[in-house]
């Protein structure tokens, strides 16, 4: 008989036109930009710090003082080096030569004859290598924490990725693209240097020297192995697009790969190209929207005298929140009267919204007649509903859920923030005459 009553109630649903709110949850973006350096293969912490300091010095000399004052500088340090590092360490152990650091890249680049031991070791390591290890998860997560924090504070982020740092930057761009809004992604950009990968996340600019032996070596390694189809995992690097052969800089980097010693060297062709790429990327970013931490939705149920009523909130993602299970995935109860007969409140903050909520009540016990009040605040909308209890009755945990209202939250992917609408599924606003329903125990 309870099921018959529930069906009868659903037939008496009253639906009114939705009321839309003005944009809500939008804070003020920060004017600041975080300039991040992502280091490459075989660069230790000190090298990474020097590279970051070099970028800072170049931008200080290039930008107006008031613009430079709005910059923060940080590191996305990479400590996982993968195949090339393993091969290099093996070569050091077996070559027993002081000049192995130079010979290593000359062997890979095809400039000097590759010794048999090196060829065999290269094939052995390549056969067992997992290219996913190029990007270490610990480093990746640390970088993502930095980017997410900065973007959610309304700051732009420009990452200068050198060498293997491009693997990390590209992976991070893809992850952020899948998790953030288009408005937030407009604040993130990558400037690539000595890129061993086949693309730049977000189609940012890149600079790779024709004479860079490391990039040549990586290209040869990918093309030269028949044991593994490397193209399934990593494609050939982007084609070189710059040269320092005709610059006034006299290079002391035999590998032509160093970030500070070659690409940003004073008098080199590439220092001006990269500096301009960074400045252009900074100027093309749009500061991401900031979402305030205020309460976006609150639903308060106040039972009438002597009535015990329970609030139920169904979230669009399938979760349900009640006084017995007060934490949903897109909101939670912050007020519960566990003894009964008191108010209950469900809230959802701007940072945890889903796109729709269905709100219902359960008449658990008590004596009529009485009137409960349900108040819904969604953005700047305030709606109140009366729920009349006209007869005596009710039993403990009488689980017929009466739908009352629905809330829809619409996210603006361009400007950020949310707009809300509230529609009735049962009952009427407090200012109107309430319907007369009788809830009885069968």
pLDDT in tens, the chain (442 residues): 333 233 223 323 333 444 555 678 877 788 999 999 998 766 778 889 999 999 999 999 999 999 999 999 999 988 755 555 656 666 666 665 555 656 665 665 555 666 777 666 655 654 444 444 455 577 888 999 999 999 988 999 999 999 888 888 998 999 999 888 888 899 999 999 999 888 999 999 999 999 988 788 777 766 665 434 444 444 788 999 999 987 776 777 777 888 999 999 999 999 999 999 999 999 999 998 887 778 999 999 998 877 788 899 999 877 889 988 999 989 999 998 766 678 999 999 987 888 899 998 887 777 667 778 999 999 888 988 887 765 554 444 455 777 889 999 988 766 667 889 998 876 444 433 333 333 332 2
Buried b (16+ CB within 10 A) or exposed e, 12-42: eeeeeeeeebebbbbbebbeebbbbbbbbbb
What domain count does the chain have?
2
Q: What is the 3-state secondary structure (H, E, C) of 97-153?
A: CCCHHHHHHHHHCCCCCCCHHHHHHHHHHHHHCCHHHHCCHHHHHHHHHHHHHHHHC
296: its two tokens: 């976006």
CATH number at residue 391: 2.60.40
Per the domain annotation, does 438 fall within a domain? no
Considering 284, 304, 319, which residue would you say is the last residue of a domain?
284
Last residue of a domain, one of 259, 284, 309: 284
**Does 163 map to a domain?**
yes
Rounded CA separation 191/60 (Å) = 18
Q: Is residue 434 part of a domain?
A: no
Q: Are 299 and 195 contained in the same domain?
A: no
Q: How many residues does the chain have?
A: 442
The single residue listed with the structure tokens 């991070």 is: 172
**Distance from C-alpha of 58 to C-alpha of 159, rounded to nearest angstrom:** 15
Indicate the residue among 260, 284, 308 that finishes a domain: 284
* 299 shares a domain with 261: no
Closest CA to 155 of 28, 31, 279: 31
Q: Tell me, yes or no, whether 61 and 198 share the same domain.
A: yes
Task: Answer yes or no: is 161 within a domain.
Answer: yes
Residues 160 and 245 in one domain: yes
Nearest-CA neighbor of 125 among 83, 94, 85? 83
Q: How deeply is 120 buried, as exposed, middle or buried, from its count of CB atoms within 10 A (0-12, 13-18, 19+)?
A: exposed
How is residue 259 annotated by DSSP?
A: I
Range of the domain at 139: 33-284
Whether residues 23 and 48 share a domain: the answer is: no
Coil vs helix vs strand at 291: strand
DSSP 1-51: -HHHHHHHHHHT------EEPPPBSB-PPPS-EEEEEE--TT--HHHHHHH
Does residue 208 sit in the same domain as residue 346?
A: no
Short-list 332, 337, 335, CA closest to 307: 337
118, 91 contact by CB (below 8 A) = yes
204 assigned to some structural domain: yes
pTM for the model stands at: 0.63
Residue 317 CB partners (closer than 8 Å, separation 6+):
329, 330, 354
Q: What is the CATH number for 40?
A: 3.40.50
- C-alpha span between 219 and 217 (Å, rounded): 5
In a domain, 439, yes or no: no
């Amino acid at each position: 008989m309870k099921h018959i009553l529930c069906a009868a109630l659903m037939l008496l649903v009253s639906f009114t036109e939705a009321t839309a709110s003005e944009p809500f949850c939008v804070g003020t973006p920060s004017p600041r930009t975080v300039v991040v350096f992502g280091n490459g293969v075989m660069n230790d912490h000190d090298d990474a710090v020097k590279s970051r300091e070099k970028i800072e010095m170049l931008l200080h000399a290039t930008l107006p003082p008031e613009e430079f004052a709005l910059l923060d500088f940080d590191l996305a340090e990479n400590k996982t080096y993968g195949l090339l590092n393993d091969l290099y360490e093996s070569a050091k152990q077996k070559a027993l030569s002081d000049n192995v650091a130079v010979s290593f890249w000359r062997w890979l680049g095809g400039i000097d004859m590759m010794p048999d031991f090196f060829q065999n070791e290269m094939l052995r390591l390549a056969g067992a290598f997992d290219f996913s290890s190029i990007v270490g998860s610990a480093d990746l997560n640390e970088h993502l924490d930095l980017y997410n924090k900065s973007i959610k504070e309304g700051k732009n982020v420009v990452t200068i990725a050198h060498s293997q740092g491009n693997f990390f930057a590209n992976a991070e761009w893809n992850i952020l693209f899948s998790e953030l809004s288009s408005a937030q992604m407009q604040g993130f950009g990558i400037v690539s240097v000595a890129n061993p990968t086949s693309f730049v996340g977000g189609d940012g600019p890149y600079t790779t020297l024709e004479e860079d032996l490391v990039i040549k070596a990586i290209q040869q390694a990918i093309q030269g192995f028949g044991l593994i189809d490397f193209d399934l995992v990593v494609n050939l690097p982007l084609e070189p697009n710059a040269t320092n052969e005709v610059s006034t800089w006299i290079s002391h980097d035999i590998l032509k790969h160093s970030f500070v010693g070659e690409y940003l060297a004073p008098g080199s062709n590439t220092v001006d190209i990269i500096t301009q790429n960074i400045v252009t990327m900074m100027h093309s970013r749009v500061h991401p929207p900031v979402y305030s931490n205020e309460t976006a939705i609150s639903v308060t149920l106040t039972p009438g005298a002597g009535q015990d009523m329970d609030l139920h909130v169904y979230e669009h993602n399938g979760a349900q929140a009640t006084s017995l299970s007060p934490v949903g995935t897109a909101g939670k109860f912050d007020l519960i009267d566990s003894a009964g007969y008191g108010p209950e409140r469900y809230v959802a903050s701007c940072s945890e919204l889903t796109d729709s909520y269905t709100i219902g009540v359960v008449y658990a016990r008590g004596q009529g007649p009485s009137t409960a009040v349900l108040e819904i605040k969604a953005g700047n909308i305030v709606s109140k509903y009366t729920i009349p209890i006209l007869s005596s009755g009710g039993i403990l945990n009488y689980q017929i859920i009466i739908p009352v209202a629905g809330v829809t939250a619409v996210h603006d992917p361009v400007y950020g923030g949310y707009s809300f609408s509230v529609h009735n599924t049962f009952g009427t606003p407090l200012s109107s005459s309430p319907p007369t329903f009788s809830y009885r125990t069968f």
